[in-house]
Amino acid sequence: MMPEGGMIVPGTIQPDLEHLVDEMPALDLSDVPAMRLALDGRAPRRVEDASGTGPSLVEIEGPAGSPRVPLRITCPDAARSRTRAAIIEIHGGGFVLGSAADNDAANRELANATDAVVVSVDYRLAPEHPHPAAVDDCYAALLWVAGRHLELGIDPARIGILGASAGAYLAATTALRARDQGGPALACQALLEPVLDNRCDTTSMQQGTDTVFWTRALAERSWELFLAGNRLDSRTIPARHPNLTGLPPTYLTVNELDPLRDQGLRYAERLRTAAVPVDLRQWHGTFHGFTMLDTAIGHTAIEALHAAMSVALAAQSTGQTA
């Protein structure tokens, strides 16, 4: 068990990750446009099979007065014999970096492993579009998927949501909004190395001054850019929400050498206290973003995600047929 508040000790990185640390991009959020250009096509990616068809691209109506929201829809390669589950996937990037296209290969792998239609959201990025633009876009995507389940060939009882890092904040917030506003019921939520609290006051965050890839300073800066001076109340910060009951079964991961670690551990404990089923995976000797690298521990983590989502989505099947 990895206790909250455990020391982040330099030199304890998994051996198969240690020699690849230099492949992780150096992030600088002082000039976001320049950082986006520097990362374009250069972020490390696990080796993927290049076969298979690409995603379908659609644009949906966003919140009133907002631009349309681009989605990328990836279907499994196998022929369909019944309705499928759907997974709404939300990319990470500290609220300011990345795009849905970055995860095309990973989403094709996810679709084939879970036999689910994966819908990736190209939400608006800060600082050009501060909170709540990204949250609104992700919730619009959930409403669209649920409202078009017949067209998409999916079982409306088997819609899950998946987010990594800042994408996990958006996934968690979307799940809370769906519950609070009587929106579509989610079969599960997967929160990977999640961003959950803008206070950045946990022990692991305080110790994360020189950690690999993601640091306390970057976390604080990303929140500044995302909030743009707006104050969030307790209902818009998952870790501070007063009521977590009625949320979907949750798969949640934390990395031992990640400043975000303790936020995830706290949220998992609060979910359990609220009687929400939680599958908590703690990856020892790992840092934020380690699954981007082609390593044994990275593949193990991704396979665990695929297995957990397959089980969670299958458990909610209504038995519908196409």
Q: What are phi and psi of 236, to 5 degrees?
A: -110, 0
Q: What are phi and psi of 280, to 5 degrees?
A: -100, 125
165 is a catalytic site residue: yes
66 is a catalytic site residue: no
Question: Strands across the sheet with 116-121, in order?
Answer: 56-60, 69-74, 116-121, 84-90, 154-164, 188-192, 250-255, 278-283
102, 155, 197, 258: which one is catalytic? 258
**Would you mind telling me the total number of residues written for the chain in this entry?**
322
Tell me the C-alpha distance between 195 and 192, whole Å: 9
120, 165, 204, 222: which one is catalytic? 165
Whether omega before 132 lies within 30 degrees of 0, making that bond cis, reads yes
Q: How far is CA 68 from the centre of its chain?
A: 21
129, 131, 149, 288: which one is catalytic? 288
122 is a catalytic site residue: no
* Beta-carbon contacts of residue 136 (< 8 Å; ≥ 6 apart): 62, 63, 66
Residues with catalytic annotation? 165, 258, 288
